[in-house]
Amino acid sequence: MSIVAFDFDGTLSDSEMTVLLGEQRSVADEMAAITERAMNDEIDYATSLRERAALLEGLSVADAQQAFDAVYLREGSADLITALRDAGVHVAILTGGFERGVERALERENVTVDTIVANRLPVENGELTGTVEGPLIEGTKDDALDDLVRELDITGDTIAVGDGANDLPMLEFAASAIGYEPKPAVEPACDVTVSSMAELQELLTARDILSV
């Protein structure tokens, strides 16, 4: 069995979950600025995530759900996920973003993946607390991918697809690192880069991960 581990925001999705949440709280510009600094490796990811979560303190669950409802898969993502799973590939999403947004985007396209590793925004009295919890705050994506490989006893290809600085650990861990329009700080770690899901599907077919 092979495994393909995807980042979500900026890779499988062209939505930016924290910015969508920030729009509900009128702090989208501040969110985007923090995200950009993190993706370019100017501040560490854990710090950036906590700063963004803090801006959401007091956001109602209903407003947060509106943001998650606006998260969409990138064109071609659903078809690629389906093709990979039909080929017997284990498909994982490893994201510092939030479970509910990932789940909503997949539900809309009626597709499923094998594993989701994501963070959560705690709620108290119907509002976000301004904190964040989950395995990918201090934890890194290489550890998450390593855990999956060991748990599943993966003996085939280990492929990671991402775009930002927090994807670097899994890109460096994987046997094959694919950058999806990667940030400048990330591109040197990529074996190859792509700019569409169709291009990625062609690449995986050429590598015999997918059949023609």
86 classed as catalytic: no
What is the separation of C-alpha 71 from the centre of its chain, rounded to a whole number of angstroms?
Answer: 12
Give kind and range of the element (H or E) at residue 197. Answer: helix 197-206
7 classed as catalytic: yes
Is there a contact between 81 and 204 (Cβ–Cβ < 8 Å)?
no
What is the separation of C-alpha 49 from the centre of its chain, rounded to a whole number of angstroms?
Answer: 13
Looking at 7, 142, 163, 167, which residue is catalytic?
Answer: 7
Phi, psi of 50 (to 5 degrees): -65, -40
**Angstrom distance (rounded) from CA 49 to CA 32:** 11
Active site residues: 7, 9
